[in-house]
Structure 1
Amino acid sequence: MQDNVTVLTVSRLNALLRDLIEDNFMQIWVEGEISNFSVPASGHWYFSLKDAESQVRAVMFRVQNRLLGFVPESGMRVVCRGRLSLYPQRGEVQLIVEGLEPRGVGGLQLAFEQLKNRLAAEGLFTVERKRPLPAFPRVVGVVTSATGAAIHDIIQVLRRRGAGVQVLLRPVLVQGEGAAREIAAAIAELNRQGEAEVLIVGRGGGSLEDLWAFNEEPVARAIHGSRIPVISAVGHEVDHTIADFAADLRAPTPSAAAEMVARGRLELEEHLDHLVLRLAAEMRRRVDFGRERLDGLRRRLRSPRESLALARQRQADLMRRLSLAMVRKQQERAWRLDALAARLNDLSPLRTLGRGYAIVTRAGGEIVRDAGTLLAGERVELRFARGRAGARIEEVEG
C-alpha cells in the first residue's frame, strides 16, 4: 500500500455517502407499492417501497405521520414526497418520507373511509341508538360559526315557522386547525348546561377540505356521547360527513335542520287551525238544522179550526178520488164484458147457421160430420138458423 493513500473507516465512508446522497436528493417524489408496513411503539412508520424490479427502505416519523389523517397499509400504491438519506449503522439507503398520497384516491377520502369503517365497527352509527327529536322544543342549541350563512338561515326559518323558539348559539371555528376540538367542546358544553332540547351542528357547503372538521373523530364521539338529540347539518344535500352518520338525524342543509325542529310546532298549529274551522262549520250546521226544525214545528202547530178545515179538505179530496176510481173501474169492467160477449158471439154455432149452413143430426141427436156414415133411406133432422126440418137420405156419396 502506498504511503499517500487515504484509508477510510467504514463510519467515515458512510458519513461521506450520506452527505453525498442528502445533498443531491433533498426533495424527490417516488411512486411504489407499500410492503412490510409496521408501527412500533415509537409511533414511526417503517415500510418498503417497491415496484416490479426494485425496492427501497422508507420511514415516516411520527411528527409527520400524525398529520396525515389516514394509515397506509401493505399493498397500497402511493406517491411519497421526501428525501434520501443513509442509515450509517447498516449502510442502507432509506427514503425519509415527509408526505404521502394514495394513488388513485385522495388522502382525505381514504382517511374518511378508514374512520367511518372503524367507528361503524364500534357501533357509533347503529340505528338502534338514534333518538327521536322532541315534538315541541322550546330551546334549540346551535353549534356553528357566528358569522356564517348557516346561523342566519337557521334563525330565519325558526322565526318564520317556530315562533317562541329560543336559540342558544355556541360559536366555533368550522374549518382549519383546531375546529374539530372547538366543535366537540361546544357540544359537551351545551350538554352540561342542559337547557337545549335539541342540537343543530353544522355549517354551509364547501370542499372536502373545508368540511373536514366534521369528519374528525372528536366530533363524531362528542355527537355520539351527547344526551341531547343532535341534527347534523353540514354543507349541501350532496355532502356527507362522519358527523352525519353519528348524529340522530341528518339534514341536507342548515335551513332544512331548522325546518325539522320547527315542523312539530307548525304541524300542531295547522292542526289546531283545522280543528277550529271544523268546530265553526259544525256549529253553523247545528244552528241551521235547529232553525229548520223550529220552522217545521211552527208550520205543524196550526189552530184547531185550520186543522179541521184541512182535514175536511183532505176528506173531500179522498171522496172525489174514490168516486173517480169507482167509475173508472166500472167502465173497465163494462169494456171487458163487451169484449167477452163479442168473442162468445163469434164462436157461437148460431152465427154459423145464420150464414146459410145447417146442422144434420140422426135420431137421438147425434151430429153427422161424415156423409159416409149415412145410409140410403135413413131419416135425419136438419137444423137451420130459424127452425128445423125432417129429411130422408136417398143417396150417399163419399
Structure 2
Amino acid sequence: MLFQDSLGAPSAISVSALSLYLKELLDTNDILQNIWVHGEVSNCKTYPSGHCYFTLKEGDAQLSCVFFKQARLRTAAPTLRDGMALAVNGRVAFYERDGKLQFYVDAVMQLGEGALFRRFEQMKARLEAEGLFDSERKRPLPQQPDIIGIVTSLQAAALRDMLRTLRNRYPLAQVILAPAQVQGADAPASIATALDLLNEHGEADVIIVGRGGGSIEELWAFNEEVVARAIARSRIPVISGVGHETDFTIADFVADFRASTPTAAAMAAVPDIADWQFELQEKQQLLTELIMEHIEDRQALLAHALRDLQHVSPQSIIAQRRQQIDECTERLQTHMQHSISLRAERLRGVSLQLHSLSPLLTIARGYAVVRQQRDEAVVTSTRQVQPGDIITIQVQDGQIAAQVQDSLEKI
C-alpha cells in the first residue's frame, strides 16, 4: 500500500508492517486455515529434532511445507520421502523471517507414488533388466590415479569442494574439468557429452560426475537414460557423487562407484597422502628397529668371532707361551734359589768342618808349619832338610825365614 503526503510525494510502509499485514490477512482467512492440498513430495528432509520440511509440487507450482514432530506423532504419519503423492491438511501462513508462504501440515494422506517417482522406478527397472547395474561390469577404481576427470558445473559449489578435497588429500593428481549443465532440460545431454569428451581425450584415470544437493527435480538430469548410457559406455571408471547421502539417482546405480556426496566422491577417487605419511612413519620406525636389532645381532656375532679368533690367534698363543715361560722362569728361579740355599748350607757346613781341621787352628795353639822355601813343600821330617837349606816357618801372625844348621832325628 502506498500513501501520499500533503505534497503529493508517495510514502512507503516498512517491510515489517507489510509482513504483519500479510500474516494477518492469511491468518483471518477461514478457507486457508483448514484446507487439503495434494501434490508430489520433493526435497524432503527430516532433521534430528523430528521436524520434517518438504516441498509439495504439482506441475510448475510448488508449496513449502512444514510438518512438526508433534503433529507427525499425533497422527502416526508415514515416513515421508521424495516422490510420494500426498494430500496434506493444514493451514497457510506467512513466515515473516524468510518472507515466504508456508503450509503448516497437521495431517497427511498418502495417495500413492508421484509421477516422477513412477518414472524413476520404470527407468530403474528397465536399465536393471538390461544389466547396466550388474556388479560384474563395475570396474575397480585406480589406487593412485594421475589424472582425475570431473563432470559438473563451473559455478557449482560442489566443484570447489571436490577440488579442495583432491588438493588436500592427493596433490600429486592433475584435474581435467569437462564443464556441463547439471540442472534443467539441457542438462542430461550436456552431462553425456562431457563424459564422452573425457573418454575421447583418454588421459583421465577416473571420472567424477555429480553435483550438490537439491530437490528431486533439480537432480533429475542424473535419472535420464542418456546419462545412464554415457556412464555405462565409458571406458574410464566413473564415480557418481550426486546430492546428499539420502539421494539416489539412476547414475548412482550405473556408476562403477557410488559416493554419497561430491566431496565423498573426491575422497573415493584418490588416496589420502596423510595415510601414506603415517604408514611411512610406521614403516620407518619398524625399519629402524629391525636395523638396530640386526646391528645388535651382528655385534654379538662379531664379539663371538673375535673371541674365537683370539683363541686361535698367534698373538694369543704367543701370549700363552710367554705366560708359560714366565711361570717356568719363576719356578726355575725358585728352584735355583732353593738349590743355591741348599748348597750354601752345605758349603757352610763343610767350611766349618774344614775350619775345624785347619792347621791355622793348630798354629794358633803354638804350633808352626815348616816349608821348604824352594818348593814350599811341608817339612814333616828332619830327613827332608839339609844344613844350609832355607825354610819358612809359618806361625799365627806371619812367616819366619830360617836357615837349617843341623837336623836332629827323633830319638
Q: TM-score, normalised by structure 1?
A: 0.48
Q: TM-score, normalised by structure 2?
A: 0.47
Larger Rg, first or second structure (1 or 2): 2
